[in-house]
Structure 1
Amino acid sequence: MLPPPAKPLKVEAVAAESLGRGNVIPMIADVARDKDCARVVAMAHDRFGRLDILINNAGRGMKYVSERFLTEPTRFWETDPDVWRMVIDTNVNGPFLMAQAAVSGMIAAGYGRIVNITMNHATMRRRGFSPYDTSKAALESETVIWAQDLDGTGVTVNALLPGGATATVMIPDELLQDGLAKLLEPTIIVSPLLWLVSDASSGVTGGRLDASRWTREGPEADAAAAAMDDAGWCAN
């Protein structure tokens, strides 16, 4: 069964604290729909005059396949085809459609940062983790190809991962209550993300930054170097 659509009131509540400063605009959009992606980008240009940063963080996880996915793996042929399509639409097609809508303005400005949220390579190989693992492997390929396509434009494309299972809405409440998952805090990605979207990361593109390897002491350039690899699959 597919999830219900998001509720506008919940989105508005999340944004309420920042609305007074005008830096958060609540809206409902589906990244799997090209017209919605174009509308989001147009809204950013209308409100702020430009769009410098795109973070492809929207995603559907394994809980839509099974609430017990961490303890009872679902074999790929047991997966509901509608759920498979939903995950791929959101996690693979969504970043493509958002980047496609955003990138022309970035190229015209000569500046842009695209960050794709990915995951550990080991999880991409994990039994019973498709289509989520499949979608993230595809997103990593997108990262490598887009970085090459945008070379020389001033627009960079990099992947960012927490470095392990993270306490987000993708983990079912039942598993959290059972204590079956040792989870990282979502805030682990904040410092490396801010570095990736800053001027300090100029010229860095086609990489994957593992937030769990980011050191909090010393210069950020050193922390980035210690946490960064090439995106995609390592050649042996």
Structure 2
Amino acid sequence: MSMDLSLDLFGKTALVTGATAGIGRAVAVELAGLGAEVVVHGRDPDRGAETAREIEASGGKARFEAADLAVPDEVRRLAEAVGSVDILINNAGVYRFASTAEADDAFFDLHIDLNLRAPFILVQKLVPGMAARGFGAVVNLSTFGAWKPARGAGIYGASKAGLDLLTQIWADEFGPSGVRVNAVSAGPTHTPGTAGGVADALTGVIALGRVAEAEEIAHVVVFLATPAASYVNGSVVQVHGGLRATSG
């Protein structure tokens, strides 16, 4: 049986959340380079327009849609505005640090709303359409902090652990209809959000001894969205440079 195992995404439409900076922007640019029409999501219209212009200047197709994914009705409005898509990249997220005693309701709600509920709503609204058409790909951005405890990152890690489980649930629900759902468990990465040195502080636990660049994570995300990954479903792919072994 002959199968399309190419990286060609011509004729496909992709929604990338949090696509105006960091990993999301790198993913959007790379998807467009493979032929996909990209819906760039973000909250800042200026940065969104800049990302879309960068894609179009390279010969790609892109448009910007703004939404605050911490607000459920905004997530639903985004899904309606986007319409039919073939690829959904749930990249947008938040990571803040506090101990259990320090975290208040707003801190807790922000992580759950943005990291867990927003992807849930987008899958709920967009993936049934993929299933009806018989094909599609979803990639969720997760973290090695979903399974490796880190001080002050309990709520962040728990929100991403929930996303990892939903990845496997969705793979089961939608896989029979031709929709693949996977996640990328990223390690510390240089992005505007980690400019304060948060990522660099973790290099001591990484076997490669360095922080990732956004493009290194994006390459794996994009691969999972292409036909080349046609038999990868329900996986949480570890992309963290390897973790150093502990003694004893």
TM-score, normalised on structure 1? 0.72
Partner residue in 1 for 2:55: 18
Partner residue in 1 for 2:225: 197
- In 2, distance between residues paired with 1:60 and 1:213? 22
- In 2, distance between residues paired with 1:212 and 1:79? 27
Root-mean-square deviation over aligned CA pairs: 2.6
Counterpart of 1:84, as a letter, is: F
SS in 1 for 2:167: helix
Q: Deviations over 1:121-154 (max 9, x none)?
A: 5764222212111111111111111111113110
- In 2, distance between residues paired with 1:22 and 1:185? 23
- Which residue among 170, 173, 176 is the counterpart of 1:149? 173
Counterpart of 2:222, as a letter, is: L
Gaps of 5+ in 1: 66-73, 215-236
- In 2, distance between residues paired with 1:35 and 1:174? 32
- Which residue among 6, 31, 40 is the counterpart of 2:78? 40
Gaps of 5+ in 2: 1-41, 204-210, 243-248
- In 2, distance between residues paired with 1:189 and 1:152? 28
- In 1, distance between residues paired with 2:60 and 2:76? 21
- In 2, distance between residues paired with 1:134 and 1:194? 25
Q: How many positions carry a matched residue from both structures?
A: 193
User: Contact 2:188 / 2:240 at 8 angstroms: preserved in 1?
Assistant: no
- Give the superposition deviation at 1:19: 4.1
Counterpart of 2:234, as a letter, is: G
Partner residue in 1 for 2:68: 30
- Give the superposition deviation at 1:33: 3.6
SS in 2 for 1:13: helix
Partner residue in 2 for 1:7: 44
- Which residue among 157, 160, 181 is the counterpart of 2:184? 160
User: Contact 1:19 / 1:25 at 8 angstroms: preserved in 2?
Assistant: no
Output aligned runs, 1:68-87, within 5 Å.
74-87=98-111
- In 1, distance between residues paired with 2:146 and 2:106? 26
- Give the superposition deviation at 1:96: 0.1
Counterpart of 2:149, as a letter, is: R
SS in 2 for 1:55: strand
Counterpart of 1:13, as a letter, is: E
Instruction: Give the share of equivalent positions with the same residue, in percent.
Output: 31
- Give the superposition deviation at 1:23: 1.7
SS in 2 for 1:206: coil
- In 2, distance between residues paired with 1:186 and 1:165? 10
Counterpart of 2:126, as a letter, is: A
- Which residue among 84, 91, 107 is the counterpart of 1:57? 91
User: Contact 2:147 / 2:161 at 8 angstroms: preserved in 1?
Assistant: no
Q: Deviations over 1:183-233 (max 9, x none)?
A: 21111123322221111222321111123569xxxxxxxxxxxxxxxxxxx
CA shift in 2, pair 1:204/1:174, >3 Å: closer
Counterpart of 2:151, as a letter, is: R
- Give the superposition deviation at 1:98: 0.8
- Give the superposition deviation at 1:101: 1.1
- Which residue among 126, 132, 135 is the counterpart of 1:111? 135
- Give the superposition deviation at 1:169: 3.1
- In 1, distance between residues paired with 2:75 and 2:198? 33
Q: Per residue, is there more strand in 1 or in 2?
A: 2
- In 2, distance between residues paired with 1:213 and 1:78? 31
User: Contact 2:146 / 2:160 at 8 angstroms: preserved in 1?
Assistant: no
Partner residue in 2 for 1:94: 118
